[in-house]
Each structure stands twice: as C-alpha cells, then as structure tokens.
Amino acid sequence: MTRAACALILALACPAGAFELNWPVDCTPGETCFIQQYVDRDPGPGVTDFACGTLAYDGHEGTDIALPSLAALQAGVTVRAAAPGTVLGVRDGMPDILVSDPAAPPLEGRDCGNGVVIDHGQGWQTQYCHMARGSVAVRSGDSVAAGTPLGQVGLSGRTEFPHLHVTVRKDGQTVDPFDPDGTLACGETAPPLWSDPPAYRPGGLIAAGFDIAVPKYEAVKAGMPARAVLPAKAPALVIWGYYFGNRAGDELRLTITGPEGEVISETVPLDRTQAQAFRAVGKRLRGPSGWPVGDYTGEAVLIRAGAEIDRIVIAARIDG
C-alpha cells in the first residue's frame, strides 16, 4: 500500500513512516516562503538540523515556515491541514505581536499562540502554532481533509518573525518530517514524510533592494517596496541584502553596476551566526553633475567557505 493510501485510510495499520504530509502553508518554498528552522536533532546543548546544518535552536521541536515580510503576513497566507484527521483542540484570541515588544502580554505557557492540534490516527498528530488572531476556522471535533483551511499565518505566541511552526508527533514523541526515523548521517537522504519535500537550503537571501540611504531594519522586515526608479541627484546609491541562516564566517557581497561600469562592490564579513539580519553598502554622490542616467543592476550574494549559497539580482533606473 502506498503512503498516500495509508494517509487516506487511517484506520488501517500502516507501517511506520507511511504517514504522509502535504505542505501546510499557501506559499512556495524558496519563492514566497522559506524554512527558517528545522527540528533540533542534537540531544545535548548543541544545535544541529537533519542535514547537519545550524538552522534550528536548542530543543526546537518543529519546522518553522517563514514569510519574507510583515507585508506578506498582512496580505493573508492560509494555513492548511497537512493530512486528514480530527481536530483535537484549538486556541484563538491571542494578539499578533512580537514577543520582544514591550507591549506583549505574558505568555503564561501559551508559547504556541493561536493554533490547532489534529489527530490523524495510528498515534500521529500535527500541531500548528503562531496563527493570526481571529483566523482559526475549525473547532474541536471537526473532521478535516488534507488541505482544509485551518486559519492564517500570524505572529501570536513566542515569535519574532511571521511564520507557521508545525510539529509532528507519533505516540507523543516529536518526529522530524525530514528525517522521520532520526537516523540520517551528514550528507545522506531518506524518504521524508512530506509528499513533495522542499529542497534543503542552508541559509539564503530573503530580499534585496536599492535605496538612496541605508534603510532601517524595521522597514526591511516590514517589506518595504524596492525602488525601481532613482533620482539623478540622489545623495547616495545604496544596495541592501536581507538574509537568513547565516553562520559566523559567511560573507555577503553587494555590488552595483551602472551604465558606465561598476559603482561599488564590497564583500561584508558576517561575524555572527544569526537567524535573520541585513547589511547595506553604498556610495555618496560626488560633484554636481549627478549619477549617470540609465539602467543599474544590483547583486547580493551570500557566500560560505568560498562557495555561493544564494544570489539575488535586482534592477533599477536613474532618470535625469
């Protein structure tokens, strides 16, 4: 019997590992969302994801599917049941607010925020956390199919960025859906629980853009629109890159090329391992004539151990 058939006929005694998950967020991994953190497989104080990378934190028990900006969150992104089952419990009503915000109320053990727990039979359960207040669309006891809307991605509970945290359990124990048996060695692959597993990314670029001054980080995280047209008398030409999952020792190369050649190219050392961060470089306008009119190209490249991890190419125009 196939894994899909086992997932649909939950009353059958399917073999371990036969349970199957659909992608639980209305987004495309690597394009409109990304996995910020995986299950931590290190039993001690260290941190290791299933691919022997560092995209986790100590004791993390789920998969964090992140949106690229607060603007994407505000547009509304649907959370869906990853497999058929019965809703065991829900919570709604908690505010969408960063846990670090001084106005955030005490969590009092409600770190998951607004969420849903689904029982899938044969000891399998999934839990969906940090959903938007007022968006939870199911009730305890409801039967759901794979793909049934549960609510929307939010900022409730213990969260510092817009994402869905989804935990998979078998007989009460956390299961990594990318390594369900917990036996992968570095560099190995094995059948995951996902029906269409997203490719592993060891970190990457979320966004990049041009500006006439170094933007505030809050504006970058909010999803500030990229400048497609810049004035010839702009006080500076700036390129910024917003990235995730960098390790200490990585580099970010930022380059601007204009109609008369390279304007600036700088490689910025990243000296700390961070979940998310951004950097910017630029060049001030010198002289009264302004920047050359024409098309400009920008590149942001994340580099690890001399190899390119990710790249974003952007374009803008300077009008006279």
Summarised one tens digit per residue, pLDDT across range 179-218 is 998 887 876 777 899 999 999 999 999 999 999 999 999 9
Using CA of residue 205, residue 207, residue 210, residue 212, what is the dihedral sign? negative
SS3 content of the chain, % helix, strand, coil (to 5): 5, 40, 50
User: Which residues does the chain have with pLDDT short of 50?
Assistant: 1-17
Distance CA 318, CA 300 (A): 19
Distance CA 276, CA 271 (A): 13
- Extract the tokens encoding 35: 């996995």
C-alpha closest to that of 157 among 76, 118, 119, 100: 100
Distance CA 118, CA 168 (A): 10
Each residue of 287-316: pLDDT tens digit?
A: 888 999 999 999 999 999 999 999 999 999
- Extract the tokens encoding 88: 């065991």
Q: Is 147 exposed, middle or buried (0-12, 13-18, 19+ CB in 10 A)?
A: middle
Distance CA 142, CA 312 (A): 43
Distance CA 98, CA 79 (A): 19
Distance CA 16, CA 58 (A): 27
Q: What integer pLDDT is reported at residue 158 of this predicted model?
A: 97
Share of the chain above pLDDT 70, in %: 94
Tell me the domains of the chain and their CATH numbers: 3-7+19-175 (2.70.70.10), 204-319 (2.60.40.2550)
Contact 221, 69 (CB under 8 A): yes
- DSSP-derived secondary structure letter, 116: E
User: ∠ at Cα 89 (88, 94), nearest 5°?
Assistant: 165
Q: What integer pLDDT is reported at residue 3 of this predicted model?
A: 36
Provide the phi-psi class of 296: left if phi over 0, else alpha when psi is between -120 and 50, else beta: beta
Distance CA 308, CA 299 (A): 12
Contact 67, 29 (CB under 8 A): no
Distance CA 264, CA 280 (A): 11
Amino acid at 183: T
Q: What integer pLDDT is reported at residue 14 of this predicted model?
A: 38
Q: List phi, psi (to 5°) of 85.
A: 175, -160
Q: Can you give the pTM of this predicted structure?
A: 0.90
Q: How far from 276 is each of 52, 69, 209, 231, CA to CA, in Å?
A: 19, 12, 16, 30
- DSSP, collapsed to helix, strand or coil, labels residue 66 as strand
H or E stretch covering 74:
helix 70-75
Q: What integer pLDDT is reported at residue 288 of this predicted model?
A: 87
C-alpha closest to that of 310 among 319, 301, 318: 301
Q: Find all residues with CB under 8 Å of 186, minimum gap 6, and list them.
A: 51, 52
- DSSP, collapsed to helix, strand or coil, labels residue 159 as coil
Q: What integer pLDDT is reported at residue 225 of this predicted model?
A: 87
